[in-house]
Structure 1
Amino acid sequence: MLFCCQPRQQRQERTRLALSTSSVALGHVFLRQLLSEVSAFTPPLRSSLDIVVAPDFSRTEIGFRPFQPWKQCRTSWACRYFAVLRTNVRQISVVPIHTHVASGQYILPRCLNALHVSSVASPRAPFLKRHGRVGFASSILAVAASQRVFSEHLLYSDRAAMASLRLPKDFLWGYATASYQIEGGAHEDGRGDSIWDVFCQQPGKIAGGSNGDVACDSYHRYKEDVALLKQLGAKAYRFSISWSRVIPQGGRNDPINEAGLRYYKDLVEELVANDIEPMVTLFHWDLPQALYDRYGGFLNKDEYVLDFVSYARLMFETLGEKVKFWITYNEPWCSAILGYSTGYFAPGHTSDRKISSVGDSSTEPWQVGHNILIAHGAAVKAYREEFKPTQSGMIGITLNGDWVEPWDPADSADVEACERKLEFSIGWFADPVYHGDYPASMRKQLGSRLPEFTAEEKALVLGSNDFYGMNHYTADFVRNCDRDTPSAENFNGNLEVFKTNKAGDSIGPETQSVWLRPYPSGFRRLMNWISDRYGRPIIYVTENGTSLKGENDLPVEQLLEDEFRAEYFRTYINALAEAYTIDKVDVRGKFDSCSCIWSYDRQQPQRQPQSSADRSAAQGYMAWSLMDNFEWSEGYETRFGVTFVDYKNGQRRMPKKSARVISEVFTSLTHGEAA
């Protein structure tokens, strides 16, 4: 039967496959094509199906039960792969899952621009050719019953929706780097040690025992790097200042290193001369070692805040005439958690005495995060009062955050845990800036270990962002922990983080970095979450990129053809364009009583379509990274660059395919063409 209205419990024995579309029009088109193909099936195959259509045509469920020809197949309904749409017609993803189809439920995400499925090569292909036209519906069934996915196949696309994707013509796009990762020149012209120089000397901390002493040698090759930016068509370049290069001992009363200041002056002048907008980060993890030795660095609020503001003033005075975009801190979550909880980053504090002899993971991360927020607020106050009236720049903070989906979407505790995860990572820093205090979920779990803001501190921090700096790479599945009292070292919000969900579905394909798997729709959803929670701030995406599994082992010719990275940027940049062009901000939702592993509902009310002024105000995008570089604890074994750096042959630079793709995508999106 084609249409089945049986109660859900009577349909449990059927494998359920549900497909969602974003509009009535798409639903109509999908249903017409589906019925057209099903009508061509032989009666035995056709009778094994039931199709349930939502009243508004936004969702169609296909149910099918085993029948003899398929039961006899060697794989016995085992399914290893299922293709799901990530963003639109130009982006197709194949996500491996390991489960049993008959007991699973697979739901395509809400599709704004297309529906995709994979064609297959398996023992069933001849059977399908005999018993039904291999098309839309039969391809879906073949995937669900096959052992492997062979290739991607486009089924339907909404060309009108695709053609509507736009970014502003003056959209600021470019590339990002960080001082310790690219500069080198670690012991030249008076530069002092940072905590990373010392951390890298400790055995076992960095893959391959490497360090940033030479890195990409940008200290000597900055003109070549600016020329590379120009060649790639970049409109902006985000880089960071090495605090210990300009003030070797770091303190407010310590000598200034004029050679260090000259380097950054020359870099900024070279950028401006080439019509590239400089975006300067004051702190990207490389605290002067002298401040750590002198008073404990971040842990001494009174001393540290004064020293950071003094350093910030120096840079505003030196570069502010030509620099109009300032970022106080890059990813303070990493400084606090990786530096003072897990011990994986400098200075390596942790309660785990197998890793470090110093540190208290139950208290230090929260104190470090608090003190960084105070220093950020104080630096912003200084800029606004002393420099902004004449320099007319913008200042903000950059926060990292991964999107999250519930490990078990049918479990309300997992759904609630997703919100906590975002609050413990993003809300930890963004809530005080936009709302004046830490999230209630953090107060509840951490109690007195989470510092209180004084009235003066709250006034410093609240409203201290001219824009929201967003670093984003990946997504995770989140499962709630049942224990009432989490361990004192827990920093996630009493939950567990996975790359696969309860059904065994992966959030995305593997990369060289164990923490990173692409999930482009998560980028879009996170932008919407930020926009919703913080009153639609101006958003600059200050980092986004990927490593490539095994890239370091490839011959140069293959390494330069980095299609995986190119596809990552296509999908993520188009997700950005969708958030800007299409979204009426909230893309999360449920249908009926069905669970959906790719569509995530936090019970937000539906909103009416908004004007262009009411959209997520994305204004810029910096790809990570301009070039391969020193990747912190992963050393040089992981590459993120769109430019290959040949470390064995004088740091020679060679642009990869992904660099060309980024330029093409932004040219298309900002010139009124379909991306």
Structure 2
Amino acid sequence: MGWPSEVVNLVLPLFLLLELGTHCVAVDRSSFPPGFEFGFSTSAYQVEGAAHEDGRGLSIWDTFSCIPGNILGGGNGDVAADVYHRYKEDVQVLKSLGTDVYRFSISWARIFPGGSARHGKVNPKGVQYYNNLINELLQNGIEPFVTIFHWDVPQVLENEYGGFRSKRIIDDYSEFAEFCFKEFGDRVRKWVTVNEPSIFATHGYGNGKNAPGRCTTNGGNCAAGDSSREPYIVAHNLLLAHMRAVKIYRSKYQQKQKGVIGISLYADWYLPYSSSKLDVDATQRVLDNKLGLYLDPLVFGDYPYSVKQLIRDRLPVFSEEESKEIRGSFDFIGLNYYMSSYVMDNSTSSDPTRKSDIASNPGQDAPENPDIPDTFATTTSQKDGIALGPSEGGVEYWISYPRGIKLLLDNVKTKYGTPPVYITEIGYVTLDNGQPLQDILEDTERIQYIKNCLCYTLQAMREGADVRGLLLWSYIDNFEWNNGYSFRLGLHYVNYTNNDLRRIPKASAIWFQQAMNPREAPTAAILLVP
């Protein structure tokens, strides 16, 4: 006998609220264990500016940004948020926010303008800038957390041999990484070798949306490339570069400098569209392609079986020695989480309902083409006409689903043996369409999103995930790659008008400052309520 309709009508909405999202209250620094670290992340090209000053060389992003049509609004990183000149001011902003750690990247072309020592000497002014920044952070009680490579290959190396399309890059990257260990490692205790290799590979060489803008030319907007092969070649070389840097650090520097080294991986979360085996298997294929392609080699020494099965001879192979060396080549894993979506199998299905969901909202991976290459799967943010979560800040494909961070942490814990994790990026986007400044500053949705992510992170930790810290993207608005300056993810508004560049705190900055400096007694337990 079925349940009475009154019970169904009462229980179903509650179930949907619990499943589709919860709101979080009563969370601040005191909710987390002692030693848990909070901070912010940035990258050199997105915030520094001074692109043509003090001996800095060109990177592939300087070249890519100058090509009309590549950047929304036509912007570039020549000035960005001008952190190069304003770093002292910004360190005070970070300090006011209660920042424990600040993750930034070192511009390869600012240290080696020619890409390597064989193309010229080290740039002393670039070295001095990073020494000044590191010292300023330490003097203000903030620990530097350094990313060695965040997408800005020196243009010289791209011209010479194709950048990360060639294994020659591994030697040049290793030289740069070792210089960083030697020069800054006496004060830097946390290193990230590579940021988001998956995005660099797929957007730079699969769809051409990011530098260096390569993809298959047939019907695409790229001048050259091979979308079926180059992303996997680049991914492989990024992993080998990571492995080499870790080997150098561990063998020559780690014992003396007492630091840790890891990698930051982009990790959307994916849920099966239905409980059918087809959709469940498709979801696993997507996770294998998006996250497992990078994390499986680090933990198990090889690519996921489903990836090898589908990519076949387009996927490079680790030698026996490489497999041994890459396995365990991390002290922590960085996870960058922003969005989630449903996954449906498209190897056999012709269900018109599914096609309708895809057409109405194709998902974040490729709005013009919802199929994820080499997975026989499709993403959508809607199921039966109901969105997985609200769109963030007017960006239709950017679906807010904070519960995804817990599901991601659960998955990493279960599949990969509870590795130490830093959440090296989470963030909430708003779109600047010329609305009044006050509307941008009242970013209450961002506050709620961060609260929810904190609560779900705590929940995952209390269920066994080993999370050491959480870093937001970011303390200021910045140049958001191919989306230019219209996408704002900062807790401080940056006034780009006439290069004024003032940092103006949003409501989220005021809330975060209070949350990092709580006056109340420690919270006894997290509270998740529908």
- Relative to the length of structure 1, the TM-score reads 0.71
1:522 matched to which residue of 2?
A: 404
Q: Find 1:413's aligned residue among 261, 274, 278.
A: 278
Please say if 1:390 is aligned against 2:256.
yes
Q: Find 1:539's aligned residue among 421, 424, 432.
A: 421
1:655 matched to which residue of 2?
A: 505
- Shift in CA distance, 48/83, structure 1 to aligned 2, threshold 3 Å: closer
- Shift in CA distance, 324/165, structure 1 to aligned 2, threshold 3 Å: closer
Please say if 1:617 is aligned against 2:466.
yes
Give the partner amino acid of 1:324: R
Displacement of 1:522 in angstroms is: 1.0
- Shift in CA distance, 633/435, structure 1 to aligned 2, threshold 3 Å: same
2:24 matched to which residue of 1?
A: 90
Residues in 2 aligned to 1:298 and 1:618: alpha-carbon distance in whole angstroms: 31
Displacement of 1:498 in angstroms is: 1.1
Secondary structure of 2:509's partner?
A: helix
- Shift in CA distance, 163/333, structure 1 to aligned 2, threshold 3 Å: closer
1:287 matched to which residue of 2?
A: 153
Residues in 2 aligned to 1:670 and 1:621: alpha-carbon distance in whole angstroms: 21
1:210 matched to which residue of 2?
A: 75
Secondary structure of 1:280's partner?
A: strand
The answer as to whether partners of 1:165 and 1:669 remain within 8 angstroms in 2 is: no
Unaligned 5+ runs, structure 1: 12-46, 53-59, 64-81, 92-158, 584-614
Give the partner amino acid of 2:240: I
Residues in 2 aligned to 1:249 and 1:494: alpha-carbon distance in whole angstroms: 42
Displacement of 1:483 in angstroms is: 5.0
Secondary structure of 1:234's partner?
A: coil
- Shift in CA distance, 620/48, structure 1 to aligned 2, threshold 3 Å: closer
Residues in 1 aligned to 2:23 and 2:399: alpha-carbon distance in whole angstroms: 20
Give the partner amino acid of 2:86: R
Unaligned 5+ runs, structure 2: 350-368
1:573 matched to which residue of 2?
A: 454
Residues 504-515 of structure 1 aligned to structure 2 (within 5 Å): 504-511=385-392, 512-515=394-397
Secondary structure of 1:376's partner?
A: helix
Rg larger for: 1
2:50 matched to which residue of 1?
A: 185
The answer as to whether partners of 1:87 and 1:575 remain within 8 angstroms in 2 is: no
Deviations 1:213-248 (A, max 9, x none): 000000100000101000111111000011000000
Deviations 1:499-541 (A, max 9, x none): 112x112121112444421111111010110111111011100
Q: Find 2:6's aligned residue among 49, 59, 63.
A: 49
- Relative to the length of structure 2, the TM-score reads 0.89
Deviations 1:246-271 (A, max 9, x none): 00011242321010010000000000
1:357 matched to which residue of 2?
A: 223
Cα RMSD, aligned residues only? 2.4
How many matched pairs?
499
Higher helix share: 2
Residues in 2 aligned to 1:490 and 1:163: alpha-carbon distance in whole angstroms: 38
Please say if 1:259 is aligned against 2:125.
yes
2:488 matched to which residue of 1?
A: 639
Secondary structure of 2:391's partner?
A: coil
Deviations 1:11-37 (A, max 9, x none): 8xxxxxxxxxxxxxxxxxxxxxxxxxx
Secondary structure of 2:335's partner?
A: strand
The answer as to whether partners of 1:627 and 1:641 remain within 8 angstroms in 2 is: yes
Residues in 1 aligned to 2:23 and 2:230: alpha-carbon distance in whole angstroms: 47
Displacement of 1:49 in angstroms is: 2.8
Deviations 1:144-170 (A, max 9, x none): xxxxxxxxxxxxxxx9xx999941122
Secondary structure of 1:49's partner?
A: helix
Secondary structure of 1:553's partner?
A: coil
Residues in 1 aligned to 2:87 and 2:23: alpha-carbon distance in whole angstroms: 39
Displacement of 1:48 in angstroms is: 5.1
The answer as to whether partners of 1:552 and 1:638 remain within 8 angstroms in 2 is: no
Secondary structure of 2:399's partner?
A: coil
Residues in 2 aligned to 1:669 and 1:533: alpha-carbon distance in whole angstroms: 39
The answer as to whether partners of 1:520 and 1:571 remain within 8 angstroms in 2 is: yes
Secondary structure of 2:386's partner?
A: coil
The answer as to whether partners of 2:43 and 2:104 remain within 8 angstroms in 1 is: yes
- Shift in CA distance, 84/617, structure 1 to aligned 2, threshold 3 Å: closer
Residues in 2 aligned to 1:466 and 1:212: alpha-carbon distance in whole angstroms: 32
- Shift in CA distance, 314/515, structure 1 to aligned 2, threshold 3 Å: farther
The answer as to whether partners of 2:38 and 2:471 remain within 8 angstroms in 1 is: yes
Secondary structure of 2:342's partner?
A: strand
The answer as to whether partners of 2:310 and 2:374 remain within 8 angstroms in 1 is: no
Displacement of 1:88 in angstroms is: 4.7
The answer as to whether partners of 2:372 and 2:378 remain within 8 angstroms in 1 is: no
Residues 589-608 of structure 1 aligned to structure 2 (within 5 Å): none
Q: Find 1:473's aligned residue among 321, 338, 356.
A: 338
Secondary structure of 2:387's partner?
A: coil
Give the partner amino acid of 2:511: V
Residues in 1 aligned to 2:423 and 2:300: alpha-carbon distance in whole angstroms: 21
- Shift in CA distance, 164/235, structure 1 to aligned 2, threshold 3 Å: closer
1:339 matched to which residue of 2?
A: 204
The answer as to whether partners of 1:184 and 1:214 remain within 8 angstroms in 2 is: yes
Which gives a bigger RCO, structure 1 or 2 (Cα 8 Å, sep 6+)?
Answer: 2
Residues in 1 aligned to 2:254 and 2:248: alpha-carbon distance in whole angstroms: 9
Bigger shift: residues 665-674 or 627-636: 665-674
1:629 matched to which residue of 2?
A: 478
Give the partner amino acid of 1:645: V
Q: Find 2:440's aligned residue among 547, 559, 575.
A: 559
Deviations 1:302-343 (A, max 9, x none): x11000000000011111011000000000001111001111
